[in-house]
Structure 1
Amino acid sequence: MRDNGGVRQEQQRSVVLLGSTGSIGTQALDIVHRNPGRFRVAGLAAGGGRVDLLAKQAAAFGVPRVAVADPARADELRRALAGHGCGATVLAGPEGVAELAADPCDVVLNGITGALGLESTLAALRAGSTLALANKESLIIGGPLVRALARPGQIVPVDSEHFAIAQCFPHLPGPELRSLAQGHVTARRDEVRRLVVTASGGPFRGRRREELERVTPAEALDHPTWSMGPVITVNSATLVNKGLEVIEANLLFDIPFDRIDVVVHPQSIVHSMVEYVDGSTIAKASPPSMMIPIAYGMSAPDRVADAAPGMDWTRAQTWTFEPLDHEAFPAVRLACEVGEAGGTAPAVYNAANEEAVAAFLAGNLAFPSILDTVARVVSEHQRTERPGAASHRPGDLTLDDVYAADGWARTRARELVARRA
């Protein structure tokens, strides 16, 4: 950042964007398009489901390298790039995405969905780039691996809840809270009583478990507040997403699970809060738009002007807060147990859920059975010596352990789904 004649100017940042064709990625590119002096796209990667869009993005932003996670789509991507007059080099497979994440740049924005993002998260951290993390799964399943690599402040959380928490730490003298997450300020551990993570409650807020038996995929995908991809939208309906976010908060901010609460806030205006020992609470509020945390992820610690419209404080409005119904939505409680267990347990929780959600969206599993399946797989993993299950000491966990547990959990979840079907 430099001062030119009294006018504040930010130095242009190079950004490698992973998951460019998804919700996070397309919004990030919109921010780049509106702020060409602030950002330069140095590379793009996507899963491979929308190859032509990836090629259009690469051509529009003139990127030198593009990666596609599905190697079977690499030739199609090359043809699409040629059709758009783009000569970008194509990298293929998860290893190609990770190679792109290791390219020299200022910021890697990881918006890939699911466990696929872990190697890219590790690659970006090893390369020393700032990691704008929207792929919560990579932190959750590889927690000890990520924490071992990340220097304090290297990760900027892009999840709205964790972005909010990072913004709620005022500067205090003395021993600082050990935090991997970059915010503009820090706080002392002994001043923080608890973190309060807000949840919209999803489309089925207020329903009892028995009322959820006949829920359809279309109903689960009809989120009342947020527009997201199908997996994360279903995760928001089951509250699995909130369970993952509690684990993420523990790993990012080093606050124990018994000091992290979830409260239902249907308006999605207050994105999370930090309660202090003197009884005061600092809350971060903004309209329900991912543009703000995405922009900050690429620009931290500076802000991007007009990243999204602000609140209209002249309009009458009501905010409500409700306790979470753990009986109808047991995902958060199960996630806390998994997070406390550590090791490969979070990877099992995440993998089993991804398989169960896929079965639900395909019409092969009832909505409540998503969590039933996850709980069964987690229980079996904790009871027996499954692949990677012995590596519960953080220092002993390896990437092979994580992938072995992930693979076992997916296989076991598919077996349970087939049995139910």
Structure 2
Amino acid sequence: MPRRLVILGSTGSIGKQALDVVARSEGKLEVIGLSAARDWEQLLEQAERFGVSQIALADPDAAARAAGAWPRGAVMGGPDGIVELVTSSGADIVLNAIVGSAGLLATVATLGEGIDLALANKESLVVGGELVNALAQATAARLLPVDSEHTALHQLITGQPAGTIDRLLLTASGGPFRGRTRAQLEAVTVAQALAHPTWSMGGKITIDSATLMNKGLELIEAHHLFGTPYEQIDVVVHPQSIVHALVQSCDGATLAHMGYPDMRVAISYALHHPGRGELPIPALDLAALGALTFEAPDTETFSCLRLAREAGLAGGTAPCTLNAANEVAVHAFLKGELSFLAISEVVARTLERLPPGAAESFEALAAADSEARALARRVASELS
């Protein structure tokens, strides 16, 4: 029997690549549900192509348009519609590729139903890591990472005896502005920030990569995924993006996960786990690569990485505040309302003015998220 799959965020970069993985799975994966934010026309095309009878759109107006144009299946609308798609689908696994903290609700719905979760929405763990982990443990649902770095760590750590891993190392490409000073970043344009040197990603994630916030969020995610203290997680800049992560063990050995940068590898690993699916990706040719380089990240120029580590160490609602402020700031930058350097300033000032509270429930996190967004908008307005 094929593994029944729901893809949330199927019209985005991860979603499209997941559908390519499905098409190459030789019947091992069957898509039974798809969702998008508002691109209903592309969603209907995907549903037709993969024979899907249930779809959902987070935007109610887009859902209404889709329902009027597609009489052959069920169309659900709004955030509750995404949840309904998950809970009514009968899925074996859900791929959550929703962008931003909006994906947390779908993560909770998936794990609450005891459905395995392939998680590309890192904000779910950044915002609600302890609560999300507790929910997964309570329902015995598997939580499988889709980030290339965390997929690599998952493979490197699996099978290692408890207590033998000393340190986790996440690699970062450095983004399009690696090596530049703050002065050189003052006039950065949106187009320049979106020009990532090695990965093809959505707009928000690409900007996060340029500021190194993406790596900061991944650091917090790694802490929750693998139960590793922040003091034992490091980031190293590796421009070639060939080494995706490393682990250092108690006997002095360092293990690395390597491969050409292609997100389908991480997606396929999660969807087929514990098996593997074939992909048209060439084997690594080290002689052709010639050399791989590494350097320490510049956390003074790219302070978002430092802010993320500090928020993770502070705990409570601090990571939620960090993420909310960053989403507000990145949105303002993409609209041309904020400078590139002001992104980190919005995050820093929001964290300074909003002390962390206890992350005791998902309702408390929702309240913290709302308060942080309101404050971040005021800070962004001050800096614009």
TM value normalised by structure 2: 0.96
| 2:90 paired residue among 81, 104, 107 | 104
1:261 equivalenced with 2:234 (yes/no): yes
Q: CA deviation at 1:261?
A: 0.3
1:346 equivalenced with 2:309 (yes/no): no
Which string of whole-angstrom CA distances, capped at 9 and with x for unpartnered residues, describes residues 59-104 of structure 1? Answer: 111112101011121111113324xxxx110111111112222232
Write the distance in 2 (CA, Å) between the matches of 1:244 and 1:197: 11
1:284 matched residue in structure 2: 257
2:52 matched residue in structure 1: 63
Alignment map for 1:127-276 (pairs within 5 Å) = 127-151=113-137, 154-169=142-157, 185-276=158-249
**Given that residues 57 and 81 in structure 2 are in contact (C-alpha distance below 8 angstroms), is that contact kept between their aligned partners in structure 1?**
yes
1:404 equivalenced with 2:377 (yes/no): no
Q: CA deviation at 1:313?
A: 4.0
Write the distance in 1 (CA, Å) between the matches of 2:280 and 2:229: 33
Instruction: Quickly say closer, same or farther: Cα 1:19–1:316, change in 2 above 3 A.
Output: closer
Paired residue secondary structure (1:322): coil
| 1:43 paired residue among 17, 33, 45 | 33
Paired residue secondary structure (2:252): coil
1:30 equivalenced with 2:20 (yes/no): yes
**Given that residues 21 and 279 in structure 2 are in contact (C-alpha distance below 8 angstroms), is that contact kept between their aligned partners in structure 1?**
no
Paired residue secondary structure (1:311): coil
Write the distance in 2 (CA, Å) between the matches of 1:135 and 1:307: 25
Unmatched 5+ residue regions in structure 1? 1-10, 170-184, 383-388
**Given that residues 157 and 297 in structure 1 are in contact (C-alpha distance below 8 angstroms), is that contact kept between their aligned partners in structure 2?**
yes
**Given that residues 267 and 320 in structure 1 are in contact (C-alpha distance below 8 angstroms), is that contact kept between their aligned partners in structure 2?**
yes
1:177 matched residue in structure 2: none
Write the distance in 1 (CA, Å) between the matches of 2:282 and 2:73: 35
Paired residue secondary structure (2:353): helix
Write the distance in 2 (CA, Å) between the matches of 1:266 and 1:313: 15
1:391 equivalenced with 2:377 (yes/no): no
**How big is the alpha-carbon RMSD for the aligned residues of Structure 1 and Structure 2?**
1.4
1:13 equivalenced with 2:13 (yes/no): no
More deviation in 304-313 or 132-141? 304-313
**Given that residues 291 and 308 in structure 1 are in contact (C-alpha distance below 8 angstroms), is that contact kept between their aligned partners in structure 2?**
no
Write the distance in 2 (CA, Å) between the matches of 1:312 and 1:153: 37
Instruction: Quickly say closer, same or farther: Cα 1:47–1:375, change in 2 above 3 A.
Output: same
Q: CA deviation at 1:145?
A: 1.5
Paired residue secondary structure (1:402): helix
| 2:77 paired residue among 89, 92, 103 | 92
Q: CA deviation at 1:36?
A: 4.1
Matched residue count: 381
Q: CA deviation at 1:113?
A: 0.3
Which string of whole-angstrom CA distances, capped at 9 and with x for unpartnered residues, describes residues 326-377 of structure 1? Answer: 1101112211111122222111111110110011111111111100100110
1:320 equivalenced with 2:293 (yes/no): yes
Write the distance in 1 (CA, Å) between the matches of 2:280 and 2:370: 39
Unmatched 5+ residue regions in structure 2? none
Q: CA deviation at 1:316?
A: 4.3
